[in-house]
C-alpha cells in the first residue's frame, strides 16, 4: 500500500505527529483528480495559482505555536466542493446512527479524552467553519514538483515502488462483510531517517481488487514532514467532507507516549451509515465526529468492505543499500510489551447488524520481521521496530 496517497514527494526532517486521512478510488471512475490539479511547466506562476486554489478564504485565522496557520473556512467552502463530483452534494451534519448505540447528544457531550492540538492555545474556529492547515509557498516548493502536490496514486501492497519500499506490520481480517472498524492506538513519535520517508499507524478499510476497483479508506496518525500533510487530507484527496470545527487534519497532535512512561492513546472509529445515505463516517477520540467520505465516491466500498487492516507502515528508501533506521511505532519490537512497544487495542469490526464485535479470525502481515514485527492476540497487538539493526542490515 503506497499510502499516504502520494509517492515521490519530499518530506522534511523536522517532523511532527499529525492525524491523517486518505482514501483511494480508481480515478477514472469519478473524474476526481483531473478536474482542478494544476500541472506546472512554469513553476512560479503555478505555485501562486495553486496556493490561491488550495487556500480558501478564511473567516478567522489562528497562528499555531508550531508555525502553522489554521484557517477557519466556511464549511461550504472546503476544498472537496471545488470538484465537479460534489456539485450537487448536500452536506450531512450527522449520520443516521452510531454503532455504539449512542445518540449524538451523548457523543458530543462526552467530556473525557479531549484531543488537543497546538493551535488551540491561540483560539478556536467559529460555528459553521472547519479548521484547515494553510498551505504555504515553501510547502509547495518542497514538494517534489508542483504537479505531484495534489495528486494521489497507490497500488495495494506496492513494495517495489520507485518512491521507496513500503514495509508493513499489520493485523488483518478478511473473508466477511465489514461495515466499519474501531481501534485504540497509542501515539508515538518515531524517528525518520530520510526526508522522503514516513512512518504511520493506521486502520485501513478495503474493498475490491487492484487495479480494477480497489477502494480504500485510511485513518490514523503519522510522523509528518512540515509541509505535505494537507495533501492527503482535505486537499489532495478531495473526497472527505469535514464537519468538525475542533480538529484540523494535519495539525500537530498532543500528547505523545513516553518510553517506559505515560501512555497516550486515541480512538478511531469508521463506519458505514447504511441506514442513511451509505456514507463512511469517521470519529476520532470519544466525541469528535470528523466527517465522512460520500458513498457515491466508491465502487467496491459502496456496499461493504472485504478486508480491514490495522498496523504500521514505513517507507524504506534503502539509502546506500542499507535498510532505513526510520522507526515504526515506538521504534521498539513488540516483545518489549506494554509502555515500550506500540499497540492497537480494542480492535473491533462493525458487522452486518451494525454492531461492534471483536474480529473472529485475524492474521498478521509483515515483510521483514527482523526490521518491524507484529504480535497478535485476540483483539489487541503490539507492532513496530527500529528498522536497521544487526538483524536488519
Ligand X SMILES: *[C@@H]1O[C@H](CO)[C@@H](O)[C@H](O)[C@H]1NC(C)=O
Q: Which of 42, 87, 162, 361 binds ligand X (CB under 6 A)?
A: 87
Q: Which of 52, 57, 88, 321 binds ligand X (CB under 6 A)?
A: 88
Nearer to ligand X, 112 or 212 (CB): 112
Buried b (16+ CB within 10 A) or exposed e, 212-229: ebbbbbbbbbbbbbbbbb
373 near ligand X, rule: CB under 6 A: yes
89 touches 273 (CB < 8 A): no
Nearer to ligand X, 64 or 257 (CB): 64
Distance between CA 221 and CA 67 in Å, rounded? 20
Distance between CA 118 and CA 65 in Å, rounded? 6
Q: Which of 226, 252, 342, 348 binds ligand X (CB under 6 A)?
A: 226
Cell output for 77: 467552502
Of 203, 252, 193, which is closest to residue 224 (Cα–Cα)? 252
Q: What are the residues whose beta carbons fall under 8 Å from the beta carbon of 248, sequence distance 6 or more? A: 70, 117, 119, 131, 132, 133
Q: Which of 90, 105, 211, 353 binds ligand X (CB under 6 A)?
A: 105
What is the DSSP pairing of strand 373-376 with strand 58-63?
unpaired
Nearest approach in angstroms of CB 242 to ligand X is 20
218 is catalytic: yes
Nearest approach in angstroms of CB 155 to ligand X is 26
Cell output for 334: 513488540
Nearest approach in angstroms of CB 52 to ligand X is 21
- Which range of residues in 120-128, 174-182, 257-265, 367-375 is near ligand X by CB under 6 A? 367-375
Residues in region 7-36 near ligand X by CB under 6 A: 12-14
122 near ligand X, rule: CB under 6 A: no
Nearer to ligand X, 155 or 369 (CB): 369
Tally of CB atoms within 10 A around 337:
12
Tally of CB atoms within 10 A around 136:
17
112 near ligand X, rule: CB under 6 A: no
Of 163, 179, 169, which is closest to residue 7 (Cα–Cα)? 163
Q: Is the preceding omega at residue 4 within 30 degrees of 0, hence cis?
A: yes
Nearest approach in angstroms of CB 12 to ligand X is 4
Q: Which of 43, 103, 122, 389 binds ligand X (CB under 6 A)?
A: 103
375 near ligand X, rule: CB under 6 A: yes
- Catalytic residue, chosen from 218, 303, 335, 336, is 218
Distance between CA 56 and CA 277 in Å, rounded? 28
- Catalytic residue, chosen from 313, 335, 336, 367, is 313
Nearer to ligand X, 66 or 128 (CB): 66
- Which range of residues in 22-30, 80-88, 238-246, 290-298 is near ligand X by CB under 6 A? 80-88
Q: Which residue is nearest to ligand X (CB)?
A: 67
Torsion of CA 32, 33, 34, 36, to 10 degrees: 100
108 near ligand X, rule: CB under 6 A: no
Count CA atoms within 13 Å of residue 249 on its CB side.
30
Could you list the active site residues? 218, 313
Residues contributing to the site for ligand X (CB under 6 A): 12-14, 66-67, 84, 87-88, 103, 105-106, 226, 369-370, 373, 375
Amino acid at each position: 500500500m503506497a499510502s499516504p496517497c502520494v509517492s515521490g514527494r519530499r518530506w522534511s526532517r523536522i517532523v511532527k505527529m499529525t492525524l491523517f486521512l486518505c482514501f483511494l478510488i480508481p480515478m477514472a471512475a469519478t473524474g476526481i483528480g483531473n478536474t482542478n490539479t494544476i500541472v506546472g511547466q512554469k513553476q512560479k506562476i503555478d505555485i501562486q495559482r495553486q496556493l490561491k486554489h488550495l487556500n480558501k478564504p478564511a473567516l478567522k485565522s489562528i497562528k499555531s505555536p508550531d508555525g502553522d496557520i489554521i484557517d477557519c473556512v466556511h464549511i461550504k467552502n472546503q476544498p472537496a466542493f471545488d470538484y465537479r463530483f460534489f456539485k450537487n452534494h448536500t452536506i450531512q451534519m450527522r449520520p443516521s446512527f452510531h454503532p455504539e448505540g449512542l445518540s449524538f447528544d451523548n457523543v458530543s457531550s462526552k467530556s473525557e479524552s479531549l484531543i488537543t492540538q497546538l493551535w488551540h492555545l491561540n483560539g478556536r474556529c467559529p460555528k459553521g467553519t472547519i479548521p484547515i492547515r494553510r498551505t504555504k509557498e515553501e510547502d509547495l516548493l518542497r514538494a517534489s514538483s508542483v504537479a505531484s502536490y495534489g495528486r494521489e496514486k497507490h497500488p495495494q501492497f506496492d513494495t517495489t515502488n520507485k518512491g521507496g519500499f513500503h514495509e508493513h506490520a499489520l493485523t488483518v481480517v478478511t473473508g466477511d462483510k465489514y461495515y466499519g472498524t474501531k481501534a485504540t492506538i497509542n501515539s508515538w513519535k518515531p524517528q525518520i531517517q530520510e526526508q522522503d520517508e514516513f512512518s504511520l499507524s493506521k486502520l485501513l478499510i478495503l474493498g475490491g481488487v487492484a487495479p480494477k476497483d480497489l477502494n480504500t479508506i485510511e485513518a490514523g496518525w503519522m510522523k509528518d514532514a512540515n509541509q505535505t500533510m494537507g495533501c492527503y487530507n482535505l486537499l489532495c484527496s478531495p473526497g472527505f467532507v469535514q464537519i468538525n470545527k475542533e480538529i484540523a487534519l494535519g495539525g500537530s497532535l498532543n500528547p505523545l507516549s513516553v518510553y517506559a512512561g505515560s501512555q497516550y492513546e486515541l480512538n478511531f472509529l469508521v463506519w458505514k451509515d447504511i441506514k442513511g445515505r451509505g456514507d463512511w463516517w469517521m470519529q476520532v477520540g470519544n466525541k469528535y465526529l470528523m466527517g465522512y467520505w460520500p458513498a457515491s465516491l466508491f465502487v467496491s466500498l459502496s456496499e461493504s468492505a472485504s478486508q480491514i487492516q490495522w498496523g504500521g507502515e514505513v517507507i524504506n528508501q534503502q539509502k546506500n543499500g542499507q535498510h532505513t533506521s526510520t522507526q515504526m511505532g515506538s521504534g521498539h519490537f513488540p516483545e518489549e510489551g506494554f509502555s515500550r512497544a506500540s499497540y492497537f487495542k480494542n480492535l473491533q469490526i462493525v458487522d452486518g447488524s451494525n454492531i461492534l464485535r471483536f474480529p473472529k479470525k485475524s492474521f498478521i502481515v509483515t515483510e521483514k520481521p527482523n526490521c518491524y514485527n507484529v504480535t497478535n492476540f485476540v483483539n489487541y497487538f503490539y507492532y513496530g521496530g527500529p528498522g536497521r539493526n544487526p538483524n536488519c542490515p
